[in-house]
Every structure is written in structure tokens, then in C-alpha cells.
Amino acid sequence: MIAQAPASRPLLGQAAIVTGAARRIGRAIALALAEQGAAVAITYRGSKEEASATVRDLQDLGVEAGALFCDLTDPASVQSAVDTAAARLGRLDLLVNNAGIFASLPLEEVSSEEWDAMFAANTRGPFLMAKAALPYLRKTRGRILNIGSLGGTHPWATHAHYCTSKAALHMLSQTMAKAWAPEVSVNCIAPGMIVQGEVGPDYEHFAHKTPMQRNGTAADVAAAAVFFATGPHFITGQLLGVDGGLGL
Ligand SMILES: NC(=O)c1ccc[n+]([C@@H]2O[C@H](COP(=O)([O-])OP(=O)(O)OC[C@H]3O[C@@H](n4cnc5c(N)ncnc54)[C@H](OP(=O)(O)O)[C@@H]3O)[C@@H](O)[C@H]2O)c1
């Protein structure tokens, strides 16, 4: 059963699943959705302890919450996580495909295994999650939010496989939006440089060249996620940059 929360919370009575949300950006998104009243299931792969801590913090916000193991590269693991989340929370209104991997390598040094691993996590994983969630989301006129990247629209030479996997995720968001309308809306956020406590000359360099004169935060991305979770269902197939103008 979904716990009752103050009626001012717009996501009260709704249930979300956020992938890779034990820590960092996914955790911030999960907590922001819970603040709006949503029951939240998070998935983790390696970060079991951090996932337990995040669940406790979600529950402290007065919502139903749980953590489920999910390896996005394994279709059976994905199906099990989605079915378990929907069964435990009683419904599914929102899927946030946040989990992903990032790597830096000269393009000519990317092996076929590294290329496939990047796409398995960043592109195929969100597809498998969305496909598994679709029957539940159709019942609730739900939503899917994919976390893409500024790298999906800008060619970063030493992150070619990452950039290409995110560009594919951006296109997947548009094709899913068209294929699954009118029941399900699908949108995508493209964060720029998001820092979470890291310091150093590289971060200062990016802050300086960002028109907004700072790097982004997990809270910036989470606020955009709340917009897509609570805003008009009519908005679909959109890509929203959260980059302080870095991509301009
Ligand atoms: N940070 C940035 O500056 C930035 C910029 C642009 C876009 N993004 C995107 O925003 C999202 C979140 O970024 P982040 O920096 O917070 O991500 P992150 O810490 O690198 O990864 C988030 C989580 O993804 C999970 N994950 C990775 N591979 C997985 C797999 N095969 N199966 C299941 N889970 C898997 C991991 O879970 P476990 O820890 O439990 O293993 C990890 O904690 C990502 O999609 C990223 O590409 C981030």
C-alpha cells in the first residue's frame, strides 16, 4: 500500500521506479519525487548499502520505498525488478531511466567489448526497462523519463562510445514517445557538467566556460525530473538540456 502524505504533494498516490538511484543523480531524483509524494522503488547493481540508506531517507519523507537489485544488461533481471516494483507499490506511473556508465578513451582504442558494454547499459538497458514497464504505464497513463547527456548532442572526441550511446537514447526517447502515445508520455533530460563534490582545475574550467558560470548539481537535474513528472502529460518526445548553457 502507498503511504498517505500531505495533499499538497502532486505525486501523492503515484509510484515511480528510478534506476541506478542508490547514489548521486539518481538518488537526488528519487528523493525529489518522494518530496512530491510519490512512492519510489530504486534499483541498484553494486551499491547495496547506499541503496539501503537511500530507502531510509525516502521513507523519512513519508512515502513507500524499496530497493531492488537490477542489472540492466540482463533482460530477466530487468523484468523481475519492474514486476516486483509494480507489485509492491500496487501500480507504476513513472519510470526514470537514470542508470548509465561513462568512459574516456581515444576513439581508435575503444574495443568491441567496450563499445557493446556502453550500449548495453546506456541504450539497451533503458529500452528493456521501458518495454517491461509499458504494460503498467499504459494502465496509469504514465510517463517515462530518460537521462541522456549533453554528450548525446555534442561530439566529445575522447568519449565517442558514450556520446553515441546517449545520442541513440535521445532518439529512442522520441521513437518511444511516438510509438506509445497517447497513453504514455516519454521525455529526456540532457545534463551537462554535473558535479557532486568533485573539485579541481577541470571542474573550474567547465564552470568558467559555462554561460551560467557554474557547473550543474544533482538538484538541477532532479528539479527537471520533477517538472516532467508533474507537468502536462501532453508534453512528449522532448529533450531538455540541463547544462547552464554549456551546449550553446
Ligand atoms: N554526472 C554527470 O556530469 C552527467 C552528465 C551528463 C549525463 N549524466 C547522466 O546522468 C545519469 C546519472 O549520472 P551519475 O553521474 O549520477 O551516474 P553514475 O554514478 O555514473 O551511475 C549511476 C548508477 O548507474 C548504475 N549502473 C551502471 N551500470 C549499470 C547496469 N549495467 N545495471 C544496473 N545499474 C547500472 C550504477 O549503480 P550501482 O552503483 O548500484 O552499481 C550507478 O550507481 C547517467 O545516465 C549519466 O550518463 C551524468
Residues of the chain with pLDDT under 70: 1-7
> What is the rounded distance in angstroms from the CA atom of residue 22 to the CA atom of residue 15?
17
Q: For position 8, what pLDDT does the model report?
A: 84
Residue reference for cell 497517447: 182
Expressed in angstroms and rounded, the spacing between residue 97 Cα and the centre of ligand 1 is: 10
In a mutational test of the pocket of ligand 1, which residue from 149, 198, 215 has the highest number of ligand atoms less than 8 Å from its CB?
149
Expressed in angstroms and rounded, the spacing between residue 178 Cα and the centre of ligand 1 is: 26
DSSP 8-class letter at 213: S
Residue 94, SS3 per DSSP: strand
Smallest CA-to-CA distance from 44 within 15, 67, 78 is with 67
Smallest CA-to-CA distance from 18 within 129, 105, 109, 127 is with 129
Atom 28 in ligand 1: residue holding the nearest Cα:
100
Contact 35, 61 (CB under 8 A): yes
> What is the rounded distance in angstroms from the CA atom of residue 130 to the CA atom of residue 33?
19
AA letter at 118: M
Q: Which CATH architecture has domain 15-242?
A: 3-Layer(aba) Sandwich (3.40)
In a mutational test of the pocket of ligand 1, which residue from 44, 72, 102, 163 has the highest number of ligand atoms less than 8 Å from its CB?
102
Atom 39 in ligand 1: residue holding the nearest Cα:
47
Domain boundaries along the sequence of the chain: 15-242
Q: Which atom of ligand 1 is nearest to the CA of 218?
A: 16
Q: For position 5, what pLDDT does the model report?
A: 47
Is pTM, for the whole model, over 0.75? Answer: yes
AA letter at 83: D
Told to judge if 162 belongs to the known catalytic residues of this protein, a careful annotator would answer yes
- pLDDT digits 0-9 by tens, 46-105: 999 999 999 999 999 999 999 999 999 999 999 999 999 999 999 999 999 999 999 999
Pocket of ligand 1 from Cβ distances under 6 Å: 20, 22-26, 44-47, 70-73, 98-102, 121, 147, 149, 191, 193-194
Q: What are phi and psi of 12, to 5 degrees?
A: -55, 130
